[in-house]
Structure 1
């Protein structure tokens, strides 16, 4: 419960107590009473700040080669007050076309993972290290990893997003996302499943959903799912026995 809800509940409790005590009227200034029916200032201000950030990012022209090749900036999607935030690598062709992160095949798999956790894309926030699709000169299809210079230029946008959202938990999808947030070279096989920290926020590194499209063994699916179970536990979410048993080998 937020501070605004606590204040409102306390006010209602006080008035009910006064009524039970036989009091029929309470003297209060009109402007103070009206304030109870206004949205929390912090929420409104946060929304304005987030929209301002989005507009600035959409107008970004720091990387000439990406500006020339992109169709649009892919800022992010979801709840800007989310407890859980997923961070990926960079937009692909589908994302560049639609202006939303994780809408291709890997994105569909991520959506399934989120749904299986008992959440939805609208309840979490999803963004990438890079906001523009990395260009592929001489190629009409395919994607490439961001360069270190591209990441260094673009990652401040992500830092600002995280600072505004203040999620309780971050999930970094793949080597590039983990390295971009921790600002160091990482081996995803060694970092995966091991809690890290980003500016005081718990960070769970895991495989990128695209990895599961290439490696569809039950064992690899279970690894990612165990990471999500750890995230759910950290968030204090209820976890059913069915959820705990996903992607385990059948017994007997």
Structure 2
């Protein structure tokens, strides 16, 4: 099944535990994800794996998907571009179906693209103002946070702490144990 929006694109579906309590939603596959046929396998995926490990979770214990199931094409032969509204609208029913199948207790929107795709585009919306508070998608509590790629480009202790604070809220919502050491990460 190939989208008319990207006729050469390889479809990259979500992966993970279909009974997961935690569902992560990213933007779209990049070049590495397109080759592997799996979301979050590049540098951002490696960072997500480290975040999961710090939470006491594994990649296999959660569900990981993207807002768009194919790599958006552009004129350059390298790099990635954010999905268009048309591409997000095209893929939203597939993402919603994954959420309905998994029935997570918590959904995490990684970045502005995932947030806009799930909640609708709002030019006034600022990710920094949305993170750290609970939202809802398809009757599932949703935490908005920065995409791991943002942390790769902005590796300040402050940025890392903001994402970690969001993950602590997720852990609390899921009633996961939180040690003092975990609470103090990036202080």
Q: Paired residue for 1:90?
A: 28
More helix by share: 1
C-alpha displacement at 1:67, in angstroms? Answer: 2.1
Report SS of the residue matched to 2:168: helix
1:215 equivalent to 2:159? Answer no
Q: Which among 96, 114, 121 is matched to residue 177 of structure 1?
A: 114
Runs of 4 or more, structure 1, over 4 Å off, are: none
1:194 equivalent to 2:130? Answer no
Distance, in Å, in 1 between the alignment partners of 2:47 and 2:6 is 27
Q: Paired residue for 1:40?
A: none
| Contact in 1 for aligned 2:34/2:70 (Cα 8 Å) | yes
Structural mapping, 1:36-185, within 5 Å:
59=1, 61=2, 63-68=3-8, 70=9, 72-137=10-75, 139-185=76-122
Unaligned runs of 5+ in 1: 1-58
| Contact in 2 for aligned 1:91/1:133 (Cα 8 Å) | yes
Unaligned runs of 5+ in 2: none
Q: State the number of aligned residues.
A: 185
Distance, in Å, in 1 between the alignment partners of 2:59 and 2:11 is 19
C-alpha displacement at 1:192, in angstroms? Answer: 1.2
| Contact in 2 for aligned 1:83/1:167 (Cα 8 Å) | yes
C-alpha displacement at 1:65, in angstroms? Answer: 4.1
Distance, in Å, in 2 between the alignment partners of 1:65 and 1:140 is 17
By relative contact order (CA 8 Å, sep 6+), the higher-ranking structure is 2
> When the two structures are superposed, what TM-score results if normalisation uses the length of structure 2?
0.96
Query: How big is each residue's C-alpha offset from its partner over 1:47-93, in whole Å with a ceiling of 9 and x where there is no partner?
Result: xxxxxxxxxxxx2x3x324122x2x2110111011000000000000
Report SS of the residue matched to 1:66: coil
C-alpha displacement at 1:228, in angstroms? Answer: 0.2
| Contact in 2 for aligned 1:65/1:135 (Cα 8 Å) | no
Report SS of the residue matched to 1:204: strand
> When the two structures are superposed, what TM-score results if normalisation uses the length of structure 1?
0.72
RMSD (Å) for aligned C-alpha atoms: 0.9
Distance, in Å, in 1 between the alignment partners of 2:55 and 2:109 is 16
Report SS of the residue matched to 1:222: helix
